[in-house]
Amino acid sequence: MNPLIFVASVIAARSAVGLASIGLGVGQGTDAGQTIKGITRQPEAEGKIRGTLLPSLAFMETLTIYVLVVSLTLLFANSFV
């Protein structure tokens, strides 16, 4: 096993998961904040706004899980080793 490839794989996996988590936190926080702002402006549209919020949060979370799966694959099923 080449230690340079192993170290590069670990660094790539850590940075990918870290950046995806940061992006997810910022995106979900912005989305939730805008949802609250929209509901306070138009309380009668709360159901529609919430109905749009939940799938968008799920899609954001799914993207982060995909990054985690790719990172774990990079670490444990590395074809370069």
Q: pLDDT tens digits for 32-54?
A: 999 999 999 999 999 999 999 99
pTM: 0.79
Percent of the chain with pLDDT over 90: 70
Q: What is the distance in angstroms between the CA of the first residue and the CA of the last residue of the chain?
A: 5
Between 41 and 77, the higher pLDDT residue? 41
Give the whole-angstrom CA distance, residue 15 versus residue 53. 28
CB-facing half-sphere around the CA of 59: CA atoms within 13 A: 7
> Would you say the C-alpha torsion 62, 63, 69, 75 has a positive or negative sign?
negative
Write down the pLDDT at residue 74. Answer: 83
The model's pLDDT over 61-74, given as tens digits with 9 standing for 90+, comes to 999 999 999 999 88
